[in-house]
Amino acid sequence: MGLFDFAKDLGKKLFGGDDDPAEKIKETIAASNPGVDDLDVTFDDGVVHLGGKAATAEALEKAVLIAGNVQGVTEVRIDAMEAPQPEPSVEYYTIVKGDTLSKIAKHYYGNAMDYPKLFEANREVIKDPDLIYPGQKIRVPPKTW
């Protein structure tokens, strides 16, 4: 089952030359520790296959976003991943030119100053709230306050 399609030429550059793309993606997911045990990653012609056991639906979503926001990845599949069902109210957004987290927060939450909620929900793929790029995919958690 494909969870997301991604822009192949955009994203974090992780591998090249003799690097094993699957191993590099696995290391990146593990370093961010989103909550996936027994993580298994394979990579074939731009498609990442994830396996393992996610503690929460959010952990699975974050692992998918970490893998998908890598240059050279066109799709992430979760064929062999065990995880609870995702919350139906979680949305996903693809960054476009001119976006800021404040602008996205204003659209989804009605207040630009709520951008930290977006940043916190995507720390694994956004290291600096001022550095997002077109084509990057992020989670937009529901407004709960």
Give the pLDDT mean for 51-76.
Answer: 90
**Which of 58, 82, 106 is where one domain is finished?**
82
Is 145 within the bounds of a domain? no
* Domain ranges, residue 98: 91-140
| pTM of the entire predicted model | 0.77
The model's pLDDT over 67-95, given as tens digits with 9 standing for 90+, comes to 998 888 999 998 888 877 766 678 999 99
In a shared domain, residues 12 and 78: yes
Residue 2 has pLDDT above 50, yes or no: no
Is 61 within the bounds of a domain? yes
**Secondary structure class of 48 (helix, strand, coil):** strand
Instruction: Residue 23: give its domain's CATH number.
Output: 3.30.70
**Which of 60, 82, 104 is where one domain is finished?**
82
In a shared domain, residues 51 and 7: yes
Is 22 within the bounds of a domain? yes
Residues 131-143 as b/e (b if ≥16 CB within 10 A, e otherwise) read ebeebbbbbbbee
